[in-house]
Chain A
Amino acid sequence: MLTPAMKREIGEICGVENVIDSNLDMFTYSYDASPLPLMPARNPDLAVYATSTEQLCHLMAYANQHRVPVVPRGSGSGRSGGSMPIAGGIALCFEKMNRILELDEQNCMVTVEPGVRTFDLYSYCAARGLFYPPDPASWKFCTIGGNIAENAGGPKAVKYGVTRDYVMGLTVVLPGGQVLETGGKAIKNVTGYDLTRLFVGSEGTLGIVTRAILRLLPLPRAQKTAQVMFTTMDAACECVRKTIRSGIIPAAAEIMDKVSIQAVARLHQLNIDAAIEACIIYELDGEDEHSLTSQAEGLRKVCQECGAAEFRLARDQQEAEDLWSIRRALGPAVATLAPNRIGEDISVPRSAFPEVVKRLQQISRKYGLTIAIYGHAGDGNLHPSILTDLSLPGAREKVDQAVAEVFQAALDLGGTLSGEHGIGLTKKDYIVQALGEVGVATLRSIKAAIDPNGIMNPGKIFS
């Protein structure tokens, strides 16, 4: 709990215009986009706008000395509770650190502040013929800082990898206020431990990223989007596997089950045949129309072999964009089906995808819970969404049991708890199960070494 005197001191350090503490404001920094209930709210004591590395050095030195928890927050669009200030303290906001600092075209790298929105960065680069591939569904509003903290993925991971694969170097303010520079623009770099990768996906528990050097690719010149319908989920899963085996690496291969398809149909007033059990949205990209056309032909053949009920190529950019906006809005669309949606984020080896879908369907039947299944079939990351009304008696317990079984299914098949959302609060009870005692002990010792007083985003990932 911060005393009024401490708030004043922090105001002096950070600038009074960068500090807010009204009760109502504090409530609005207590939540994120996770399904955790709004109440009881665990408000921060103070919200602070980060403005510079220097400001944060002073702030962190003060916080460390006075043991004040600090919780970085981008757009609050995280799905695992990572930015919820459960131990009070400071919610650190990045709206004022949203500049693209440098575009280095010679090295194809861009240097940004953490508050830059992912889509804004993508658009900035695309306008210059460059490509920043990671594209989480929330890319229009999430920030690069949050993407780095959660190691965000997205549909394009199947071909282009995830945020981690594009972070070359970081400037990090450590809990004591020191500034750590990791990595750099050299592509080959084995000087010391790979601290860049340590901070990517650390969920704000180790330090505050204030600057990131990101690698870019040349922007693919042409894209094609296809929507393929199947009458069985098995056939759809098989199709993704066969497509990749045939040598066509799609830029994205997104799958959705019947519940998801019908949720979209309901929201967009579409009429979709009830016999359709699964849909895949493929994106192909390439250097030119010619290579793309032959890829598309190959894809059509594979889909036909797998018994696709319908294969439709988007006729133009607008149609492709419409398909993608539907896919990106799938989580919220599914959420409108029931009072509560508990969205998970398990990830399995691609080969285990059909099996994990079967097990999810078994869990759905066992507990009598509707589970919408959609996700990134191309990379084995899927988002089973349990739909329920948590205000009903016994619902919470039933959901908890179902979630535990979902995680167990993923782990049994060689997968893991989270592909791209992070562990945060919602999955930390299962972390030992996933990583083992030794794994978690190693995380703890790293945490203790960097943040001995435990002020950085306390209570996340592990207890």
Chain B
Amino acid sequence: MDSKLKSDLKSLVAQCDRCGACLTVCPLYAVTAREKAAARGKNAILRVLLDGDLELDAGAAGALNYCLLCKACVVNCPCKVRTDAAMIMAREYLRQKTGISLVNRAIGGFMKSPSLIGFASLALKLGRLTGIAAVLPEGLIPEEFSRKEYQRMFSGPAGTTPAAKGAKTAAAVPGRPRVAYYQGCAMKLFFPKASADSVRVLSKAGRIDLLDNFCCGRPHQVHGMGGDALELAEKNIKLFETYDIVVTDCASCGSALKEYAALFSENSEWRIPAAVFSKKVRGFSEYLHQIGYEPERQAAITISYHDPCHLVRSQSVKSQPRALLEKAGHFVEAARADMCCGGTGTFHLDFPEESGKILAAKDAAFRQTGADVIVTECPACLIQLAKAGAGGACYKVMHISQVI
């Protein structure tokens, strides 16, 4: 048993003053009205669990897994209790104490090796062709709209304004920063077209290199396999050593990569390389906005945006995608755009009912905007949101790279 993990965890949850501020912002509390769903409940459970006053049974373990890790409570907390970090550490603690469930092990192993991902990606394509997709969990294969389809749908001759011309060159300029694209597993697996669009948009601003990168480690971390996450992090840090900027179009990967610095903060060998690496990482819209990218055309459509938790709260990227979208169409802000969609990680598979209720609230807000397209910057959100909007009848759900 890692006693440091336990003491770190203890001091983290001891910061909770039990004031109840988290109740108003927790999406799970909103749909369940259960104290144990909110951060205060989870922190209290964890506290007595660590003190040995509560038996570690399936119920207690379940409560610690019953979290979107959306950080809504963290940013709202007067004591700044990092409940998401506590839940991730608690899962590690649970794994050390009880061993990991087979399901989690399977997910973890699956995400770990790049060659396996490649294989799975192929299997998924085959699945689409042969119809064996039906055996995969519901909702895992979303309908994907490509940029081309988008333009066909919304950018008829009357609906377009001329694109800004001549502002960008594709040639690499000497002395210019070396930029690499980091492809997340979920983008590769589920949204290859959107991923290709990201690369295309990025290429317009200059040379962009594609590497055979490793999983960011987030899935392992949230499933209590922090050791595996560290291994992957080391590999990624090495891989991108010669690059100045690493851009990813996956909010979750971006936040995980930016957190490498904190992950290795007490590791004398990796502390500095990790800090250097994390500084290189940019979210897709964060990067484009920074370099002054202009969308190709302003389509005569209404666009609204969903903030991925891992972008808006983990990386404080909020204004950049909006600034881009305002130039790509008629932008309308949705109510509570920054509320989690309930699609995080495998939560939507583990708890479909709650996930569905949270999604219904988002769906209602999107419909209010009258938007034709709901845009986001995270594959997990895309998978989840694609289930809303009457399956595309009310609005299409797309990655930001496909509309700018």
Which residues from chain A sit less than 8 Å from chain B, CB to CB? Answer: 20, 22-25, 27-29, 31-33, 38-41, 49, 75-77, 93, 95-96, 117, 138, 140-142, 267, 328-329, 331-333, 335-336, 339, 341
Contacts and interface: CB of A to CB of B under 8 A. Distances in A.
Contact of A329 (B20, B33, B40, B78): B78
A76 B20 contact: yes
A25 B33 contact: no
Contact of A93 (B33, B44, B51, B60): B33
Contacts of B14: 339
B53 A39 contact: yes
Interface in B20-35: 20-21, 23-24, 33-35
B63 interface: yes
A333 B78 contact: yes
Given A27-B48, A117-B24, A335-B79, A33 B35 contact: no
A141 B36 contact: no
B35 A76 contact: yes
Interface of A is mostly: loop
B171 to A, nearest CB: 44
Contact of B18 (A32, A142, A333): A32
A49 B35 CA distance: 12
A54 B277 CA distance: 62
B18 to A, nearest CB: 5
Nearest to A20: B34
A38 B44 contact: yes
B15 interface: yes
Contacts of B45: 24, 27-28
B80 interface: yes
Contacts of B40: 76
* 3 closest Cβ pairs, A-B complex: A332-B78, A329-B78, A28-B35
A24 B20 contact: no
B370 interface: no
Contact of A41 (B15, B35, B48): B48
7 contacts: A28-B35, A49-B33, A117-B24, A141-B23, A332-B17, A332-B19, A336-B80
B41 interface: yes
Interface in B361-382: none
Contact of B19 (A24, A33, A38, A39): A33
A20 B45 CA distance: 17
Contact of B44 (A31, A49, A142): A31
Nearest to B18: A33
B54 interface: yes
A140 B60 CA distance: 29
Contacts of B36: 24-25, 28
A140 B20 CA distance: 9
A166 B327 CA distance: 50
B59 interface: yes
A39 B47 CA distance: 10
B23 A332 contact: no
Contacts of B59: 22-24
B348 to A, nearest CB: 23
Contacts of B79: 332-333, 335-336
B17 A331 contact: yes
B17 A75 contact: no
A197 to B, nearest CB: 27
Interface in B32-69: 33-36, 40-41, 44-45, 47-48, 51, 53-54, 59-60, 63
Contact of B20 (A39, A77, A96): A77
Contacts of B51: 39
A49 B45 CA distance: 21
A25 B19 contact: no
Given A22-B59, A140-B24, A333-B79, A31 B19 contact: no
A27 B24 contact: no
Contacts of A77: 19-20
A40 B53 CA distance: 8
